[in-house]
Amino acid sequence: MTLIYILFFLVFAVFATVVLLFLLFVADVMIYRHDLPTSRRATRALVAAVKKYKSEARNFYDLGCAHGALALRVKKAMPKLNVYAIDKNSVRIFFAKLRNKFLWRGAHFKRKDIFEEDLSETDVVYTYLWYDLMPILEKKCQKELKRRAVVITNTSHFQDWQPAEKIVTCPQVFKTPDFETLFVYVKG
């Protein structure tokens, strides 16, 4: 009879944990709402751009990684690349680390303000941020990135830095002209 109680307790504990994680995820989405997921189509274009512009890249940074989907897809597509993903939201980093362990990808997730991260050893930076953050990020990248480093932005772009290429991944699906358009910048 005790075995049945133990089994019941374990099933209940697993169920309660799953429900709690789900509620935490939903709360995060409802409270912060600034999760801009990158589509698989845009991810394929991103990987192709990395191979085209920086095939010898060793370090890839996903700034504002949210729940880590993009970072994990890049790591799967380019397993030799060191993938670092940063977000200041603890809940999102928790879920990203959980997915990383579950999928055995080996990406590195860090809870930190992206503007406090040192980018001097970075080969490729990717970001899908709101427009109001782009001028700050542009200055940071111009100041910190080494020569020939690549920055790829999704939808929002830099004001003063001219892109080497503009990759339209989702033509005319939405009224927003640059939706899921990748802007590829190479630091001179």
**Which residues are CB-contacts of 141 (< 8 A; sequence separation ≥ 6)?**
119, 125, 149, 151, 161, 185, 187
Whole-number pLDDT of residue 66: 86
In this structure, are 123 and 159 located in the same domain? yes
pLDDT of residue 33: 55
CATH value at residue 119:
3.40.50.150
Q: Are 70 and 87 found together in one domain?
A: yes
* Residues 15 and 81 both lie in one domain: no
Average pLDDT, the chain: 87
Q: How far is CA 141 from CA 56, 90, 94, 105, 163, in A?
A: 19, 24, 27, 27, 13
**Residue range(s) defining the domain that contains residue 138:** 40-186
In order of 39, 40, 51, 176, 182, the CA distances from 172 in angstroms are: 15, 17, 26, 8, 14
**Do 9 and 73 have their domain in common?**
no
- Whether 78 and 12 map to the same domain: the answer is no
For residues 13 and 86, membership in a common domain is answered with no
Q: How many domains does the chain have?
A: 2
Strand partners, 82: 59
Q: Output the tens digit of pLDDT for each of the chain's 188 residues.
A: 687 777 777 777 777 666 666 666 666 555 555 566 788 999 999 999 999 999 999 999 999 998 899 999 999 999 999 999 999 888 889 888 988 988 888 999 999 999 999 999 999 999 998 889 999 999 999 999 999 999 999 999 999 999 999 998 876 655 566 778 999 999 98
Are the C-beta atoms of residues 124 and 50 closer than 8 Å to each other? yes
**pLDDT value at position 97?**
93
Bridge partners of residue 125, in order along the sequence: 61, 151
Check whether residue 53 and residue 138 sit in a common domain.
Answer: yes
- What are the CB-based long-range contacts (under 8 Å, 24+) for 163-169? 164/53, 165/49, 165/53, 167/45, 167/49, 169/39, 169/41, 169/42, 169/45
The answer on 144 and 80 residing in a single domain is yes
Q: Are residues 102 and 179 in the same domain?
A: yes
| Same domain? 86 vs 105 | yes
pLDDT of 74 reads 97
Secondary structure, 3-state, 30-77: HHHCCCCCCCHHHHHHHHHHHHHHCCCCCEEEEECCCCCHHHHHHHHH
Q: Are residues 29 and 59 in the same domain?
A: no
